[in-house]
Structure 1
C-alpha cells in the first residue's frame, strides 16, 4: 500500500528537480539567433543572482559586538568568583 503511493511521489520529485546543465541545453535548441542569445542572457543573469556573495559585515559593528560579549563574559566570571564553594 505504501509503495503504491511512494513510487509516484518519487517520480514527481525526480522530474521536478532539473540540474543547471539541463537548463543550459534548452537554449542550444532555439533556432532564431536573437531568441537564443536572449535565453543565454537570462541564464547568465539568473546565475549571477544565485552566485552573489553575501554582504560583508561592517567591521565597526563586529568590534562593538565583540566588546559587548567580552563585558558580558567578565560580568559572569566576576559573579562566579563570588560563589562560596564548600562553605
Structure 2
C-alpha cells in the first residue's frame, strides 16, 4: 500500500515539475515585447508549444510505463516474501 502512495506522489511531483517550470520560463520572454501584435504572436506560440508538451503519452510511452510498474510490483512482491520469512521475536 505504501509503495502505491509513493508511486502516485512521484508521478504527481514529476508532472508538476514538467508542467510548471517551462511555463514560467517561456512567459518571461514575451512580456517584454513592446509591439502588441508581436507580443500576442509570441504568446500564441507559447500556447501551442505548451499544448504540444501536455499531449497524452504515446502508446510506446504507456507500454514502457506499464512495464516499469510491473517490474516494480514484482520487486515489491519479492521484498514482501523475504520479509515474511524473517522470524520476529524468536
Q: What's the TM-score bracket when you normalise by the shorter of the two chains? A: 0.3 to 0.5
Name which structure has the greater RCO, CA cutoff 8 Å, separation 6+.
2
TM (normalized to structure 2)? Answer: 0.47
